[in-house]
Structure 1
């Protein structure tokens, strides 16, 4: 694979980006967004890295939805309506929305434009950065062989089968490479039986004829906080989601402004309608207890609900969490880099987060608080203000 084709399909992206794009188009078509690259792992990038990254991003302007890909979406994702698919048919990435600079060994990047356009950049850009980093730093040659990756992946899925837990693959954004992700998925599908439930990557879901996994991300709720206020962001974001998807894609995201605030917004009606909740930060056992108490308070049987766990998982964490959930509440697990970047090298810790939004010609800073401090994002003064308003 040469430097200019890490991303070869418009659908090489997480499914929740498309579901959110559809909702944004319908409800907030004129809203704008700014995103920022955050190098949490303080990785040092080699000389000329930004130029090769720009080449890749420029190449993405040539991607377009094929008729075969559209047919796949119509068949496997019926809740994405014709209006949206017509939009996606005409959609083209615009590299002018992405601003990249390199100073020494540090990369700085911001993305800016209409929210419904810029929403698709995050995941493929992170995948490009990750793949190029291993390639250009020379560490790629030190990775374990494909044969060993096959054995490791097979052992993992066998362990999940023995535990009788359902797992999905969520690892596009920090994969070692396109090739490794495809290899891992092939092993998971061949060996997973009913316990491997699919991938969040729409392109690979198309290749393997499976239903893509995902609903919405934190930015959906962060935007609602900027527009409607921190206290009711979760509730309005959920109601707007139901308006677009009528009870499909019905997993609620629970930690944008801490789970404490989420459960305050998650009233009896919403708790009944949504089939479950996603845990993405903080102590999972404490969260399970809170979720069960919450459902029981409303007279809802927790055994008819589920928690989707997606916070930095590996086989040991999955065993620990699933055993605690047993006979109390249903569980399933979205596993990211432990599937797609377990190649014997240090894993990158990089993210791209929405930092500002604009819906009345004025930019407003957005924040995510999360259940743990290190996963919070946004300007310090805005984080302070959010915590003050929410009495956290």
Structure 2
């Protein structure tokens, strides 16, 4: 591995980026997309940050899928067919798709191009931003020994809770080195509670199956193409068209969970193995999810909820206890609390799709995510207003008013 490259493998990315890329190539090959950096934490970037970031992106242009990596994907992800793997073998990052500007301590990033290509930028770009930020601001983290001790302590808590956990921490990791350190410990000492990582590169190194399905942008695009009311339903139907009996976890909060429930009919609720919760009060969501299954005459004991919203052992303990009482199966995707718990504040940044150019549209269409809490909503303000009006969403935070007291 080249020590000067923060991202040194094409597979150093979240698994769902590859599964979505495969689906996009097959269903929407001519669609274009735009993404932007959102600096939620109002971080101040040091001088020359943009230039160093650009240098790292230039290095990424040399990354290619190796024969060994392809063999790994064929073995562990058989639903990624040879046509897609042929595409990935030829794929190379094009830094021209990314525009980076620095004005004083502010950074602006725009990504533009074919959706099937630009979809891979978000996660490694965020990982590079995070690692560069800590390098250039001169912040000192705790020692490797302390990181391992903390990780082991958390792992032991999860073992006592008897819960299944995954690692989802690529995009906001402190560094690649810390990420690898944590992953290796989880792999060696986490069985059978540790079920894997969303990071495909590290999963390959340690011969683990990567985990994940799809992200919000998949549904956001479907809203632009088909309309807000049926975006969830169409996104799920198209997903099943590509993956059939695999990767059957539905994402529940792109346009708030009540709208998702309207789309999650008996057929889809039976087919999908479960849902992912990524915003809002997890206890309220679990209650509503169980009620929805019962209304459809589906036994919740046969279904899963994957929780992935800013988790730590304390939150997991509360959620798992509640799920056990309610007889539904919880799984937990732990992100920053695993890969950036190093004695420093973690960065609060996201890169989100903001516009799409569909096959038939002649102009760019703004895409939005409403989420279950206002703070996690993204997109053009006018389009957010329109989406809420169409979906008849008013007080977005009402159903989450208890979450601060519970967790």
Fold shared per TM-score above 0.5 = yes
* More moved, 109-118 vs 184-193: 184-193
The structural deviation recorded for 1:361 is: 3.1
Give the TM-score normalised by structure 1: 0.99
Which residue in the other structure is 2:373 paired with? 372
1:275·1:305 contact (CA, 8 Å) conserved in 2? yes
Query: How far is 1:2 from its partner?
Result: 8.6
Q: Give the number of aligned pairs.
A: 390
Contact 2:36–2:111 (CA under 8 A) maintained in structure 1: yes
Q: Deviation of residue 3 (structure 1)?
A: 8.7
Is contact 2:170-2:335 (8 Å) kept? yes
- 3-state SS of 1:11 partner: coil
What are the ranges of 5 or more consecutive residues in structure 1 without an aligned counterpart? none
Residue matched to 1:64: 64
**Cα distance, 1:247 vs structure 2:** 2.2
Question: What are the residue-to-residue correspondences of 1:1-392 with 2, within 5 Å?
Answer: 4-139=4-139, 142-327=140-325, 328-359=327-358, 360-392=361-393
> Shift of the alpha carbon at 1:357?
0.1
SS at 2:192 equivalent: helix
Q: Which residue is equivalent to 2:403? A: none
Kept after mapping to 2: 8 A contact 1:166/1:332: yes
Partners of 1:24 and 1:279 lie apart in 2 by: 23
Rounded to whole Å, the distance in 1 between the matches of 2:348 and 2:4 is: 23
Distance 1:385 1:162, change over 3 A: same
Deviation track 1:215-262 (CA, whole Å, cap 9, x = no partner) reads 000000000000000000000000000000002000000000000000
Could you tell me whether the CA contact under 8 Å between 2:2 and 2:8 is conserved in 1? no
Give me the TM-score of the superposition, normalised by structure 2: 0.95
Whole-Å separation in 2 of the counterparts to 1:119 and 1:29: 12
Q: Secondary structure at the match of 1:62?
A: coil
- 2:61 aligns to what SS in structure 1? helix
Q: Is the 8 A contact 1:22 1:80 kept in 2?
A: yes
Contact 1:3/1:56, CA 8 A, preserved across alignment: no
Q: Distance in 2 between matches of 1:121 and 1:158?
A: 35
2-structure distance, mates of 1:188, 1:4:
26
Deviation at 1:191, TM superposition (A): 1.1
Question: Given that residues 17 and 216 in structure 1 are in contact (C-alpha distance below 8 angstroms), is that contact kept between their aligned partners in structure 2?
Answer: yes
Deviations 1:85-104 (Å, cap 9, x if unpaired)? 00000001000000000000
CA displacement, residues 292-317 of structure 1 (integer Å, 9 cap, x when unaligned): 00001111110000100000000000
How far apart, CA to CA, are the structure 1 residues paired with 2:195 and 2:2?
Answer: 32
C-alpha contact 1:3 1:52 (8 A) present in aligned 2? no
Cα distance change, pair 137–2 in 1 and its aligned pair in 2 (3 A) = farther
SS of residue paired to 1:10: coil
Question: Which secondary structure does the structure 1 equivalent of 2:99 belong to?
Answer: strand
Q: Secondary structure, in 3 states, of the residue corresponding to 2:190?
A: helix
Distance of 1:188 and 1:3 partners within structure 2? 24
Could you list the runs of 4 or more consecutive aligned residues of structure 1 that deviate by over 4 angstroms after TM superposition?
Answer: 1-4
Distance 1:157 1:188 in 2: 7
The answer to whether the Cα contact below 8 Å between 1:158 and 1:191 also exists between their aligned partners in 2 is: no
Whether the 8 Å CA contact 1:4–1:59 is kept in 2: the answer is no
Where in structure 2 are there 5+ consecutive unaligned residues? 394-407
Query: In 2, distance between residues paired with 1:213 and 1:198?
Result: 6
CA contact under 8 A between 1:4 and 1:55: conserved in structure 2? no
Equivalent pair of 1:32/1:114 in contact (CA under 8 Å): yes
